[in-house]
Chains A and B, each alone.
Chain A
């Protein structure tokens, strides 16, 4: 009669672990797929399209037709620099004329007054009106003369998705309809206009179009990708995407462990039943069919529960994320559900069947006597390889990429083979220290080493589980910390640019008196890189797209007596008085310490030695510079100044007097951009909490199934201890000590490997500098000890009152 209870338990746990696996896969597939689609959209917004072709001449109409033949939608923009007159003074502006469809991705935002609320709009300006930059907000609702015609400035642009380029580098933007462009008469030969063809549509069609358009491109025509979009936005997107990929795989690994362990246990429970049927002479074929049908039943019952759970889990997230991104998450189709159900079946059968086949091969008598079933070499190879194939198939289904799946497979195998081995060695070593005395240390160690306990297997599984949980939370913490650090509490939300040298100090004083916090003011000299070590940069061939960008780039160069905030010297000496070059730029252009760089400023040349290499946190929204020069080199050059400031909502009244007192200063509002980046960070952290819950749930299942199957053994041991003279305290101690020891070993292993992999992953994929944390070890140890001990004691608490009569009747 008693035999029945654990068997039911085993099937229930197996069912539960399949449910959890299915829901993890379903939810994470649904969710990451949505997030991934969303991130694609976000990225595309940076171009206002999925793909962009730019040219300095009018683009042939064939391009647009080709795109339309591929089923893609198109839009065009023309941008050029020109001057308008404001109060009889010429002001350089960036004019952009857009076609009706613009933007294809992302939305524009505009506001009716400088301090007003922004509203989203799907379309650019209508013919006859223009939208203007906040820098020239004073012209709002006035007529502006653009070449031959006058157009009314009806809105302020508060967000332009594909603005691109450096934030404070640009002349004020004026957005207009392309239908008015011809009549301005501004588009003449030599007006140096930039023509853009924007393309958007199905990923596949876009790829096809890119393939067929590439060979048609001539000199001066360029295919643009994310590379040229906003660096701070791109970084955030990339990190988030990579991080999701990692989290989903880790969570799945935990789910797989849960299913493998419960499958193994329910199979071992089933072995007695199978052996009984064997003695009745039932054929193997019928037994396998019977067992398979049992498994299928478990699977079929698990599908609705698992899918429903997975489906529901995404709702709260979708809701919050939808709000943050201001868009609905894209729809996904049925594939996630199929994959989830399939993975449930494959792992269920793949991990269960080998054990059953093994039981069929074992003489029933051995099963009854619970003789330690030593496997033959052939059988264990078979058992192992079937589990391995299962693991690999599942990884392939999830990762969808042979190389990545292979890498993960190898890593998981290494862990799976390595941890039990090391655990065994450690236990044996500890055992050898306890030769003279059995109780309590050696007794507990012998329990863990006992074959029936499967403790090595359980501890390895649990270590891997905890490791994954730690890794997720750790990388998450680091990632968020990284971002948070870059976004300090009084993060700047305005840039003040175009400050004449004479006004730099009075402006700083003014802001200070208004209690506005600002960055240091930096001088800004517009320079171009002309030579490296005496070689003209135009004649140097660079590999990457990016280095060409540097070649043609206008550098805003500055000087500073101190290392700017968040910058770090990684090579050379700050005080040596040469150029200070940003690390990424140095890498791309292969610039080393001691190289001589030559820059030109309005035709005049100056040069100096590179004396240090510096890292810059681009996302911190402070004035950042690729190159900092010695003060004496720049001081005499034509320059303006810039600073960043944090102007609180209630401080916005300061803007008016500021613009009155310092009319040449232009104000750049970046809060919208910041809001978007913050949205991405928040959604990332939220999604991770969700994975965390699932991972922890699986970990508990792993533990429960392990406890469940050792429960009878424990009862017998406790009863035995009692008849050989142990008192209540000693009985309790025997179990507590075992759980605590397990907790310690699991905690140490998890923390050790979490730090190790955290370090590797951080360095390789996320560009994060890993810091060793005592906290991780404390959390790992505490959580594994507390979890294992409390769950264990709760689970076996009834075993303490089991009558020793059991020993007589077994």
Chain B
């Protein structure tokens, strides 16, 4: 046990997690989005950047969101994950309605069930690849963290670079660490916003392959925002966006 950490973990939190797990198993859809609208205050006045959006995501489903720049993809992703709150409409994530929850409650809902992969990696610099993957495991109070993290890193092909500080890794390798970190807690849903945006085409392809491979293995639902139409190949569904609205909702 770390000397700096306060001893008792909050029991309520654990209880909440158990409840969510049991609920989400019963649910058909892991995300339900209905009539979602987001209005922000811009210098010119109120600006609606997302208007009346609605769809469902089934467990294990791979959903690709595409659209031109500024069409509201990132905004939608943030709302779905409960990182932001909607002006109107609601998001039900893993059976919990996010609209009447505060930041802390939304975080508790995500905890252990939702993973993120970002365009600009957002790794903990100054720490090794292994430590980056250990972090979410330790935060959720898991056992055998070291072993688990090693396994996950091996599964993304970084078994030989466990103790390398992340800033010494290449861009592709860094994104692999980020993916391993997201998958380590075996989430029900993985959100990825342009995970290949900072990478060259070849590396980007490898990364998206990896994401879909892992989805296949773990049965995680994958919400992938991208510019690249090519990535829709392995997805079950594609949502096309333009000017804050869904223009297409295609199932493959």
Contact = CB atoms under 8 A, between A and B. Distances in A.
Interface of A: 372, 434, 436-444, 446-447, 449-453, 716-717, 720-730, 733, 737, 740-741, 801, 803-805, 807-810
A723 B135 contact: no
A489 to B, nearest CB: 48
Contact of B127 (A443, A451, A801): A443
A721 B127 CA distance: 14
B173 to A, nearest CB: 15
Contacts of A720: 122, 124
Pairs A-B, 4 closest by C-beta atoms: A450-B126, A439-B138, A446-B126, A724-B136
Contacts of B131: 438, 442-443, 446
Most buried by A among B77, B108, B122: B122
B212 interface: no
Given A443-B127, A443-B135, 12 more contacts: A434-B2, A436-B146, A437-B2, A437-B138, A438-B131, A443-B131, A725-B185, A727-B107, A728-B107, A729-B6, A803-B84, A808-B83
B103 A801 contact: yes
B2 A440 contact: yes
B176 interface: no
Given A724-B181, A729-B6, A808-B83, A437 B145 contact: yes
B134 A438 contact: yes
A722 B193 CA distance: 17
7 contacts: A436-B146, A437-B134, A726-B139, A727-B104, A727-B108, A728-B104, A801-B103
A804 B83 CA distance: 6
Interface in B84-115: 84, 103-104, 107-108, 110-112
Contacts of B228: none
Contact of A725 (B2, B112, B124, B125): B112
A716 B122 contact: yes
B111 A440 contact: no
B159 interface: no
A721 B139 contact: yes
Contact of B116 (A729, A730, A740, A807): A807
A449 to B, nearest CB: 5
Contacts, number: 107
Contacts of A372: 167
Most buried by A among B77, B108, B126, B181: B126
B80 to A, nearest CB: 11
Given A452-B125, A808-B118, A723 B6 contact: no
Contacts of A729: 6, 10
Contacts of A440: 2, 4-5
Given A439-B135, A442-B131, A446-B124, A727 B2 contact: no
Nearest to B78: A805
A427 B13 CA distance: 33
A737 B4 CA distance: 7
A803 B139 contact: no
Interface string B120-164: 101011110001001110111000011000000000000000000
Nearest to B163: A435
A725 B118 contact: no
B18 interface: no
B98 to A, nearest CB: 14
B42 to A, nearest CB: 11
B107 to A, nearest CB: 6
Contacts of B4: 440-441, 444, 733, 737, 740-741
B31 to A, nearest CB: 16
B62 to A, nearest CB: 19
A725 B126 contact: no
B215 to A, nearest CB: 19
B24 interface: no
B229 to A, nearest CB: 21
Nearest to A731: B107
Contacts of B118: 807-808
A594 to B, nearest CB: 60
Contacts of A724: 116, 135-136, 139, 181
Contacts of A725: 107, 110-112, 136, 139-140, 185
B3 interface: yes
B137 to A, nearest CB: 9
A808 B78 contact: yes
Contacts of A450: 125-126
B74 interface: yes
A200 to B, nearest CB: 66
B130 to A, nearest CB: 8
Interface string B20-36: 00000000000000000
Contacts of A716: 122
Contact of B124 (A434, A443, A801): A443
Most buried by A among B103, B127, B145: B127
Contacts of B116: 723-724, 807
Nearest to B194: A808
A808 B81 CA distance: 11
A450 B127 CA distance: 8
B5 A733 contact: yes
Contacts of B146: 436-437
Nearest to B8: A729
Nearest to B138: A439
Nearest to B127: A446
Given A438-B127, A725-B185, A807 B122 contact: yes
A67 B14 CA distance: 94
B153 to A, nearest CB: 13
B149 to A, nearest CB: 9
A733 B8 CA distance: 13
Contacts of A444: 4
A451 B126 contact: yes
Given A437-B2, A451-B126, A723 B83 contact: yes
A714 to B, nearest CB: 13
A440 B6 CA distance: 10
Contacts of A801: 103
A446 B123 CA distance: 12
B140 A733 contact: no
Contacts of B104: 727-728
Contacts of A449: 126
A439 B134 contact: yes
